[in-house]
Amino acid sequence: MNSELATTQENQAAKEEKTYRKPQYVVHSEDNAYRLEVHLPGVPKDGARITLDGNLLNIEAAAVEVAQEEWKTFRRERAEGDFRLNLELNVDIDENEIKAKVEDGVLTVNLPLAAKAAKRTIAIE
Amino acid sequence: MKLVKRNTWPSDPFFEMDRLFNRALGGSDLWPSAFKTATHRDFPLDVYGDDDHYYVTAELPGVAKDAIDLKVENSVLSITVNVEDKSESGSSKRSMSRSITVGDDIDIEGVSAKLENGMLQVSIPKAEERRPRKIAIA
């Protein structure tokens, strides 16, 4: 009986857990910076939230529902759930200089390398 | 001969025609399972409908309005997108396309579309005679 109870509770926990969809993203390497492009179709300009915790970059955005309640669904290919992307940074980023914007459903994050990780030309004596 | 049992088709008014259409063009839509995963598609789209309209929603993040070519021809709505991928090694052009059969019961003149935050929404009005009508009992 105890195990039965446990499974019920587990099921409830699973139901309450939110599902997220992982957005597509591209990382471009630039001089002393990385440019990250994340596809967030439907997300308005102020709809994305970016947090940097240590070397973990977290991007979240609420999905925008276009379909109205009373519409019948004939076909559904688009993934459901809010957007969430977790990326681990393996280089030092200048946290204060991170710039981001959302345009046409694409989030662009500019991640400048920290001074000590930046590319340096070494003069030969 | 090998018999394969198929699942029931999804309740999609465009499904059967699209299947034939895509198969004729070499698509691999023979199996319903192929239908459920959109991975082999260029971009995902949803189709909804109410009494008066069909609504097609496509995810096109980062695509400019003038890069989208939308047309209705022979009862087929096609969405073609020309995108340019820019990278350090230069740029490459590619085009993505999706077609869905909308049937002849639509009002072609009334089709409208808008692009907002990387999401294309096409609204297709049903022809007047196809709309549900409430009949009063005398």
- Whole-number mean pLDDT of chain A? 85
Please, what's the b/e burial string for B7-45 (b: 16 or more CB within 10 A of its CB; e: otherwise)? eeeeebbbbebbbebbeeeeeebeeeebbeebeebbbbb
Strands A82-88 and A20-21: parallel
Read off the DSSP letter of residue B35. H
Residue type, B115: L
Q: What is the pLDDT of residue B31?
A: 45
Sign of the dihedral defined by the CA atoms of residues A120, A123, A124, A125, in that order: negative
* A46 in any annotated domain: yes
Q: What is this model's ipTM?
A: 0.75
Domain span at residue A104 reads 18-65+78-112
* A117 in any annotated domain: no
Chain B positions in Cβ-Cβ contact with residue A73 (cut-off 8 Å): 46-48
Domain span at residue B77 reads 43-128
* B8 in any annotated domain: no
- Whole-number mean pLDDT of chain B? 77
Residues of A at the B interface, defined by Cβ within 8 angstroms: 28-29, 37, 39-45, 47, 64, 66-68, 70-79, 102-106
- Whether residues B117 and A74 touch (CB distance < 8 A) is answered with no
pLDDT tens, position by position, A2-20: 666 666 666 665 556 778 9
* A8 in any annotated domain: no
Minimal-distance CA residue of chain A relative to B119: A42
**B64: domain CATH number?**
2.60.40.790
Choose among B35, B37, B57, B34: nearest CA to B47.
B57
Q: What angle do CA A79, B62, B109 make, to 5 degrees?
A: 80
Other beta carbons within 10 angstroms of residue A123's beta carbon come to 5
Segment B107-134 shows an average pLDDT of: 89
pLDDT tens, position by position, A32-88: 889 999 999 999 999 999 999 888 999 999 998 888 889 999 888 888 889 999 999
Other beta carbons within 10 angstroms of residue A21's beta carbon come to 14
**Nearest residue, CB atoms, B46 vs list A64, A67, A70:** A67
pTM above 0.80, yes or no: no
* A39 in any annotated domain: yes
* A97 in any annotated domain: yes
Please, what's the b/e burial string for A41-75 (b: 16 or more CB within 10 A of its CB; e: otherwise)? bbbeeebbebeeeeeebebbbebbeebeeebeebb
pLDDT tens, position by position, B18-45: 666 655 555 444 444 444 444 445 788 8
CA distance B136 to B74: 36
* B63 in any annotated domain: yes
**Nearest residue, CB atoms, A105 vs list B10, B14, B119:** B119
